[in-house]
Structure 1
């Protein structure tokens, strides 16, 4: 009888904020260019912490639904939901050669991002990277999917690079690569635990502003996905 029951999943505050925001955009109550209230006011209105609001806004920004403009705050992107769906392709339809090319491109972008992050990071950047690591650890420890948390970790490094073009390119290709990687179960509990240790190692090098060490640690971190893409071509 047990197989007839499905596990009940309770949405987190972050998920609920994202659903509200997407509903407001798709219904037309929020239009491209509209500016959102400040984090503090949103948190008070929604009855959640500012940290939950910040995490939700960052995820929506990652997927191109929102964007932050200097001195203007956070606004609804002109891309909209339809463009979002077109931006992130269906990874199951990727050709194997396309996936290998994406991985090659990702390695180049990630290496440049982490090198720049090691040179340019601020104390605030270090806090954000650490928060992403902790969020990843919570999900993996609970045996839950940590795809989004892994994405946010790499995005936090792209943020620390202070190069908006690199960040934008990462936003386009990284979700496809990680989801493809997870759909084929390349990651198990052992590799996820190792990934967490590698996340910490990369942060240590960024904290010390050790450019060469950060680059080498990132190359090791990406080794599994590189080997996986090579295996698809054999």
Structure 2
């Protein structure tokens, strides 16, 4: 590990320790739903960690519904009851960092739903953005030797936006950076394979354009065929 930098496992350990301390603070102080937590600065001093670590821990607990942050007001205990809160926090602390295969499986499940909704809910503006992302992907994948993964994922993110489901979009944004960071960057399509991948993307776009959710989902499943094979090779 480079000096001054934390590995992912080190960072998770810090986060888990911090979350456990926030849990203990809530129950030791008998904080009720709606009660305010000490400021980030005070928690940082109390727990001996940086304010950024405190902020990340609070954001994680906020994501899981344990805390609620209000701009200019502070962070408050959510109204979910102590029994539920204890159980959820224990589950959070037991979570492992997702491996690449888990991330991809989650992505597939999300995208089969987002493409379905996008075909039903897309606007002309959405369609134009998906088309632009598709064209950027086409240019990149046909440039032999260029990595096209980012353009591919941006195409899929535009579809997620068109679904008009903020929760699905949030989940996509959460897992996308990890997928980009974990994917084998050496895999580059050439020739007929590149043309085949472009055709699969075009088919998805056209199904969304025709507002045919069933067809859009079928085309997305075909597109994921190559990804399924890639996952099979993972140990």
TM-score by length of 1: 0.54
Q: CA RMSD in A?
A: 2.1
- Residues 117 and 163 in structure 2, CA contact (< 8 A), matched pair in contact too: yes
Matches within 5 A, 1:184-199: 184-185=186-187, 187-189=188-190, 190-199=192-201
- 3-state DSSP of counterpart to 2:99: helix
Structure 2 counterpart of 1:228: 230
CA, structure 1 residues 174+134, in 2 after alignment: closer, same or farther (shift >3 Å)? same
**In the alignment, does 2:120 pair up with 1:126?**
no
- 3-state DSSP of counterpart to 1:232: coil
- Distance in 1 of aligned mates of 2:100 and 2:170: 19
The runs of 5 or more residues in structure 1 that have no matched partner are 1-94
Structure 1 counterpart of 2:143: 142
Matches within 5 A, 1:10-89: none
- Distance in 1 of aligned mates of 2:143 and 2:110: 31
Question: Which deviates further from its counterpart, 223-232 or 151-160?
Answer: 223-232
Q: 1:219 aligns with which of 212, 218, 221?
A: 221
- Larger Rg: 1 or 2? 2
Structure 2 counterpart of 1:180: 182
- Distance in 2 of aligned mates of 1:178 and 1:222: 16
* Offset, 1:179: 4.9
CA, structure 1 residues 183+145, in 2 after alignment: closer, same or farther (shift >3 Å)? closer
Q: 1:155 aligns with which of 147, 154, 157?
A: 157
The runs of 5 or more residues in structure 2 that have no matched partner are 1-96
- Distance in 2 of aligned mates of 1:171 and 1:152: 10
* Offset, 1:222: 1.1
- Distance in 1 of aligned mates of 2:147 and 2:128: 23
- Distance in 2 of aligned mates of 1:192 and 1:169: 28
**In the alignment, does 2:139 pair up with 1:108?**
no
TM-score by length of 2: 0.54
* Offset, 1:171: 1.2
* Offset, 1:177: 2.7
Where do 4+ consecutive residues of structure 1 move more than 6 Å? Answer: none
- 3-state DSSP of counterpart to 2:147: coil
Q: Give the total of aligned pairs.
A: 138
Structure 1 counterpart of 2:76: none
